[in-house]
Amino acid sequence: MNPYNRMVLAASANLISPVWSQASPAVVVAAAVAIGLWLALWGLHRWLRQIAPRPESLRLTRNVLTLAAAAVVVLVLLRGEGWGAPHITWRALSDWAMGPGLHILFIFVGAFVVVRVTDLLIARLQHVLAAPEIETRNWAERRKRIATAGRLLRGVATLVIVGIAILMALREVHVDITPILTGAGVIGVAVGLGAQTVVRDLIVGVFLILENQIRVGDVISVNGKTGLVEALRLRIIVLRAEDGAVHVFHNGSINEYSNLTKDYSCAVVDVTLPLQVDLARVHAALVAIGEELAADAQFAGKLKGPLEILGIETLTASTMAVRMRQRTEPMAQWAVDRELRRKIQERLQREQIAFAAGG
């Protein structure tokens, strides 16, 4: 080692020595607990991501456990510095580290492992239930329902496991958890201030999922907003609108909703024509359009039945609107609607049937 490095090390030792000699055991044990928990969670996180990279509940679990570990570290520090307990000695520090400290480490590591294993088991169950070998006529609908139930089950399992881990850790630092378990204290205040709304959200969410009314991947309208269901949780529904906007609704605030992709969808098109048009020619042209659409390989698999000519929908002094409806597979109505309009324009132009002015 050259003289310069030796001088730097000596100066650093002289700087740290007074601080170290005056550091209380509580500070040291708090730092040790924090570092130990962080290293354990970090190592488990890397290992579990390698063997099963499914991060749905990983981020939430890691954040909650990190906050819980930080709370335990703060409690250790406060008790050791004399706020609520006698000052910790080095002998007491050693006893605590080999007793409650080790227990707390095992609790958080164990909770992390249990959450990940639960996540893997749920994912495996989803894979088995949605496997192609048990495909049914409504397999796509079944897969949506399984995915929604899986997300719900993951959230509930993570909440229960993390809650139990936090209560166990609090007991290790001699915090009385009886008021928490009996619903006293903070829980009672929360219920009085606003938990009724939360309970309503949860109840509505449970019925939405159990009754299979809405699933992730459906397109629905909620309180006048339309979008793709990106998340369906016990408390909220998250919609992604066509323009990219994200709409979040509390389940208890839903006054009305419409599922646009439940079982099947419909493309409905009105053709506005002059009052003097020959309806027989129009009807024949529309029937030909339906046959042409059914013969198109790109759209044949998206249709559920023939094109329906419903007849005159509206009638004015100078125009009339003829309505047609094509039943489609879920989510296919918009593509079929655009193709229908294109074929109508081409066919009527070829048949020299004019549209109404402004129609």
131-144: pLDDT as tens digits:
655 455 556 666 76
Helix, coil or strand: residue 300: helix
Mean pLDDT of 323-332: 93
pLDDT band at residue 205 using 50, 70 and 90 as cut-offs: confident
Q: In whole angstroms, what is the distance from residue 192 CA to residue 184 CA? A: 11
Q: Look up residue 129 and give its amino acid.
A: L
Higher pLDDT, 6 or 250: 250
**pLDDT value at residue 20:** 45
78: tokens are 């406060």
pLDDT band at residue 291 using 50, 70 and 90 as cut-offs: very high
Question: Residues 248-289: pLDDT tens digits?
Answer: 999 888 888 899 988 889 999 999 999 989 999 999 999 999
User: Where does 213-259 sit in CATH, by number?
Assistant: 2.30.30.60
Give this prediction's pTM: 0.52
Alpha carbon separation from 195 to 186, 191, 198, 209, 236 (Å, rounded): 12, 4, 5, 21, 15
Q: In whole angstroms, what is the distance from residue 38 CA to residue 31 CA? A: 11
For 180-282, list the strands marked E by DSSP: 219-222, 225-232, 236-240, 246-250, 257-259, 265-274
Residues spanned by CATH 3.30.70.100 within the chain?
265-350
Of the listed ranges 206-215, 220-229, 317-326, the least confidently predicted one is 206-215
CATH of 265-350 given 3.10.28.10, 3.40.50.970, 3.30.70.100, 3.40.800.20 = 3.30.70.100
pLDDT band at residue 23 using 50, 70 and 90 as cut-offs: very low
Q: Look up residue 18 and give its amino acid.
A: P
Name, of 15-24, 127-136, 155-164, the range with top average pLDDT. Answer: 155-164
Alpha carbon separation from 249 to 225, 227, 238, 240, 258 (Å, rounded): 10, 12, 7, 12, 14
Higher pLDDT, 5 or 141: 141
Q: In whole angstroms, what is the distance from residue 343 CA to residue 325 CA? A: 14
Residue 74 has pLDDT above 70, yes or no: no
Residues spanned by CATH 2.30.30.60 within the chain?
213-259
Phi-psi region of 305 (alpha: psi -120 to 50; beta: other; left: phi over 0): left
**pLDDT value at residue 249:** 93
**pLDDT value at residue 14:** 53
